[in-house]
Amino acid sequence: MKRWIWQQSEYPNFAYDLKRLESLIQKVSLEQGYLIALAQTIDKDNILQRRFESLMNEAISTSAIEGEILNRDSVKASIQKKLGFKEIHYKKIDETTDYLIEILIDANTNYDKELTMERLFGWHNALFPKGYSGLRKVNTASFRGEETMEVVGIERGREVVFYEAPPRADLEHEMQRFLDWFNAAEPSLIKACTAHLWFVIIHPFDDGNGRIARAITDLVLSKIENSKISRLYSMSSVINTDRKGYYSALEHTTGYINKENNPLDITNWCEWFLSTLHNALIDTKKKLDYIVQKTKFWDRHKNDELNAREIKVLNFILDMGAENFQGNLSKKKYMSIADTASTNASRDIAQLLELGCIRQKEGSSGRNTAYEIILD
């Protein structure tokens, strides 16, 4: 029985229902355009900070999807070095983490370069510089071995093969066909969907296939966006929050869950992929909106003589986003954030009210008095 997608006679002639995808494609394209425009209104320091945060989230999340937990301080130090920060904790830099950051930056800056096996082997070698994945030795910078590549898991108490990849003997042909298509196809959202899926279908390496597939996705998106915003958002962060949906979409597409109609139809996968990308863009738009709000707020209050406690509390709320600050600001919360005494909190709140930085929440009084930051 031809169970897996690559066993179909018409593979890799993938099919998809463009009518079902049109609305999502438009939504994603709209958010991409909005982010490009919004990014141009934000100063370089804030953009650099956002790139830093996004790279950190991407590195940590793309590894977490595969069950690998990175040291946050090591990731931070590596990114600081790559982005040219002055204060860098070199002792915290880990070789493997450092190379992963290089892969992510390469995918998002050198998007005009051809994708070749040499480049992919370089990425793979960078993922496993010591030749091991945990305690397991892997073939680095080369195709996987002769043994059958299976994705195995437990379902209802029994071991199940969720996917079986093409045999080792077919990999050179499979990868050449993939690379010829990739380098010839015009950049598009459908190409991003297809490239990610197709690489995962081939599964050319012992380990690291998912991380490299997500880097390839970044390569396509960077080309579409001319790398103006790609490193401002992290698609892997959203994938990591919906790993169950990620693997379910793959199972429905690659053959574990048999499709009644065309087994080469990838519409369901494309819908999941585009929805996830849309969520990543929306999340980043909110964060950039917070930066714009914060900039405007401090422009209005740049001449106000605020103390360090007041600035700390206001920035805490602005960085989080006023709508995400649960329960509004109270005296008790002010004391906690500023780490200060009751008398100082009362004095500070009175001054912030007088300067028009905050206002009392309508309907609140007495011990339940609450305040909100004034953004308009």
Residues 6+ apart with CB under 8 A from 343: none
**209 labeled part of a ligand binding site:** yes
Residue 212 annotated as lining a ligand binding site: yes
Q: How far apart are CA 253 and CA 270, in angstroms?
A: 10
Quote the DSSP letter at residue 11. T
Catalytic annotation on 89? no
Residue 210 assigned ligand-binding role = yes
207 is in an annotated binding site: yes
User: What is the Rg, in whole angstroms, of the alpha carbon atoms belonging to the chain?
Assistant: 24
| Contacts of residue 186, Cβ cutoff 8 Å, sequence gap at least 6 | none
Catalytic hit among 89, 124, 173, 203: 203
- Is 249 labelled a binding residue? no
Per-position DSSP letters for 50-105, written without gaps between them? HHHHHHHHHHHHHHHTTTPPPPHHHHHHHHHHHTT-S---GGG--HHHHHHHHHHH
195 labelled binding-site residue:
no
Q: What DSSP element (H or E) covers 284?
A: helix 267-300
CB 88 within 8 A of CB 78: no
Other C-beta atoms lying within 10 Å of the C-beta of residue 347 = 15
144 in a known ligand binding site = no
- Tell me: is residue 183 an annotated ligand-binding position: no
Residue carrying the six token digits 């585009």? 274
Which segments are annotated as binding site?
A: 207-214
Which segments are annotated as binding site for ATP?
A: 207-214
Q: What residues are labeled active site? A: 203
